[in-house]
Amino acid sequence: MAEILEKQVMAKEIVPQLGNFTITTSKGPLIEVYRPTLSVIVKTTDENERRQAQDSIERAGFREIYAQYTPSSFAREGITSYNAAYIKTKSGKDVPRITDVNSATFGDWLKEVALLEGKDAAMVLDTNIIMRHYMRNLLPREPLKNVPLRIPRIVLLEIERIYNSDSKEKEVQKRRLALYAARENIFLMTELGAQLLPELDKATLEAFSRIAGERFSDAWIRRETREYLSQYGGRGVRIFHPLLFATCDLMNALTASAENLGVLYFSRKEEKESYAYVDVTQVAELIIDLAISMGKVSIGPVTYEGLWQGKTIGQWETDCIRRF
């Protein structure tokens, strides 16, 4: 443990000491960070590493995304009409169906569409939202504090299933990212006040365990969400919990809408080879992500590792990596 503590470092402490630098792997240059223009540039020509670099760039918060809202039938009671571009409310307002999450009006838009679903409507998070770290790194922090966040129990089970999957080489990165997603859950609960949906009954747990890994997880997550939307309380009284189902999976969004859930679908803008960053915190997030997802990356003569035997919860929470 003493050796680990001696070698560990928080990525946010590394970046301010660097000028322009290149992040490399054993195959060569991966990403260049160019400080004068606040840019990160994908340098690798290896197709597999290029894909991994783009995925890390997205999880670190560089990729721009849109949010698109589709109302449920409950929300439509307060709507006179809607089309692909706008929703017209009974109060006469035109609410955009889609908005840029980097827009200064995103917070107001999010509160408005949530209110259409009902007072104190919660945002229920799909697995892919958590695996891509959208809540921590891509969406503005303050607006999220105004909308209750809920995590389905089956999302936790699905992330755990990914981690416990076959340890063959092709599955190793998925297992690393599942651990990283578990760290995202801790952030959601401690920093944004997210809560888990109610406990699942034994029969549901047993049924899900039998089909886990057979591509039915999305359906089970939507089922849990629908049950939370309208569930029976004491004495058989039905309790309504207004919600928005948040996902970045198009098929899941379309199916959830068909199942009468209010949906927030997050879609990515066009992929680029160069991205602007706001500050060194974003660059630190990128180094952390690459060190975890790729196992090891180097900056100059120093190699950084994101996972090691014995990495503690505290080291995950403080985004520690090891240097060699």
| Per-residue confidence band for 2, with pLDDT thresholds at 50, 70 and 90 | very low
- Mean pLDDT of all residues belonging to the chain: 87
The closest of 293, 250, 249 to 51, measured between CA atoms, is: 293
For range 69-98, the mean pLDDT: 88
Residue 130's pLDDT is 96
What does the block give as tokens for 207? 């049924």
- The amino acid sitting at 175 is R
What is 65-268's CATH number, 3.30.70.660, 3.40.50.1010, 3.50.50.60, 3.40.50.300?
Answer: 3.40.50.1010
Cα 118–chain centre separation: 24
| Per-residue confidence band for 214, with pLDDT thresholds at 50, 70 and 90 | low
What are the boundaries of each domain within the chain?
2-61+273-323, 65-268
Buried/exposed code over 48-74 (b: 16+ C-beta within 10 A; e: otherwise):
ebbebbbbbbbbbbbbbbebbbbbbeb
Task: Look at the chain and count its residues.
Answer: 324
Residue 213's pLDDT is 57
Residue 145's pLDDT is 84
What does the block give as tokens for 291? 């060190």
Q: What are the tens digits of pLDDT across the range 3-21?
A: 444 466 676 777 777 889 9
For range 215-232, the mean pLDDT: 84
| Per-residue confidence band for 77, with pLDDT thresholds at 50, 70 and 90 | confident
Residue 211's pLDDT is 63
Q: What are the tens digits of pLDDT across the range 88-108?
A: 988 888 999 999 998 999 999
Give the whole-number percent of the chain exceeding pLDDT 70: 90
Angle at 283 between CA 28 and CA 267, to 5 degrees: 95
DSSP string, 2-21: HHHHHHEEEHHHHGGG-SSE
Q: What are the tens digits of pLDDT across the range 173-212?
A: 888 999 999 999 999 999 999 999 998 877 777 777 666 5
Q: What are the tens digits of pLDDT across the range 233-288?
A: 555 567 789 999 999 999 999 999 999 999 999 999 999 999 999 888 899 999 99
